[in-house]
Chain A
Amino acid sequence: MLLLIALIAIGISWQWLHQHLSGTPMVYIYHGKALLATYPLNPEKPIHFEAHGDIGLSEITIDKQGVRITHSSCATQRCVLSGHRHRIGGILACVPNRILVSIQGSQKQPLDAISE
């Protein structure tokens, strides 16, 4: 009974979250509260970004396969071992370095701003 209630509650929250995850997939890179960079998820050429965190550098690569952390200064390297994320809602985090890489939906098409 308790398991059923828990699963229903989780299902509803999951559904609610995914309603807020639509649009063009964009990669947002944060250090704590600060937004460091924003890139489209599937760029023509691979993008390499160096995020300066609390304990050093986190190297982030965005290419056709998705986004991944390729190098990190942290001891555990869990963020590097997490591999690629390629869907909206995907998250990569390096907790010791306080770096978050999040794929979120942008409601505006990114090209609109250029064409206007």
Chain B
Amino acid sequence: MDTSQEAPKTPRPSLASLEKKAYWLGLLLLASGLHVFEAAMPSLGPWFKLGLANIITLIALASMGPKAAASLAIGRVVIGSFFIGTMFTPTFIISLSATLASTATMLLAWRFVPRISLIGISLLGALAHMCSQFIVVEQLFIQQVALYYLLPPLLVLSCATGWLNGALATYITAQLNIRSR
């Protein structure tokens, strides 16, 4: 009696598809590492971070497209929060919602603003991140509009970090010979 069963045949993934997945995973690990590194850095202020991990999101956007960039941004917040120990805390809720808002803004800018550079996308993302962070804190936790007194100076700092991260992402994509469009 022949008891051997034939294994169901699944199509073998192409090398190009595996390479793409590995590249995305590498970027995800890099972004998560930067997220953790930034949390361990001495704080530049209670509401302010450099947003270095966003450089990787910009590189993913330029090299792999909007879907890969969005999943990478969300993935690195979840993985990063797990390692920092802030999973499901107010910090995680603020971080995730601000990341969703900034990623959506960056993808919309990428899709609908003709000839926008990575610096412009990064700048809009940084501003959206800061604004959404304040809206979430005001709506869910503090519930006082006085909180918004802090917003204008922090938006100025966001402009600086958004520009810097965009410039770094542009430099890295140029070095990697990635065409941004």
Interface of A is mostly: mixed
Interface of B is mostly: helix
- Cβ < 8 Å to A, chain B residues 143-167: 143-144, 146-153, 155-156, 159, 163
A91 touches B123 (CB 8 A): no
B46 touches A10 (CB 8 A): no
A32 touches B163 (CB 8 A): no
B137 nearest CB neighbor, chain A only: A95
> Which of A33, A82, A104 contacts B46 (CB under 8 A)?
A82
* Cα(A17)–Cα(B147), bound, Å: 12
B143 touches A17 (CB 8 A): no
B123 touches A102 (CB 8 A): no
B124 touches A2 (CB 8 A): yes
Indicate if A96 sits at the interface (CB-CB under 8 A): yes
B143 touches A7 (CB 8 A): no
Given contacts A10-B155, A89-B149, A96-B90, contact A32 B143 (CB under 8 A): yes
**Stretch of A38-46, A60-68, A73-81 lying at the B interface:** A73-81
Size band of the A side of the interface?
20 to 34
Given contacts A3-B163, A81-B43, contact A100 B147 (CB under 8 A): yes
- Cβ < 8 Å to B, chain A residues 85-110: 89-91, 93, 95-96, 98, 100, 102, 104
* Cα(A100)–Cα(B134), bound, Å: 13
Q: Which of chain B's residues have a CB closer than 8 A to the CB of A57?
A: none
Q: Which of chain B's residues have a CB closer than 8 A to the CB of A102?
A: 144, 146-147, 149
B141 touches A95 (CB 8 A): yes
In the complex, 21 of the A-B residue pairs with CB atoms within 8 angstroms, ordered by the A residue number, are: A3-B123, A3-B159, A10-B152, A11-B152, A13-B152, A14-B152, A17-B148, A17-B149, A17-B152, A21-B149, A33-B144, A75-B89, A81-B46, A95-B91, A95-B137, A95-B142, A96-B89, A96-B141, A100-B147, A102-B146, A104-B146
Chain A residues in contact with chain B, CB under 8 A?
A: 2-3, 6-7, 10-11, 13-14, 17, 21, 28, 30, 32-33, 75-76, 78-79, 81-82, 89-91, 93, 95-96, 98, 100, 102, 104
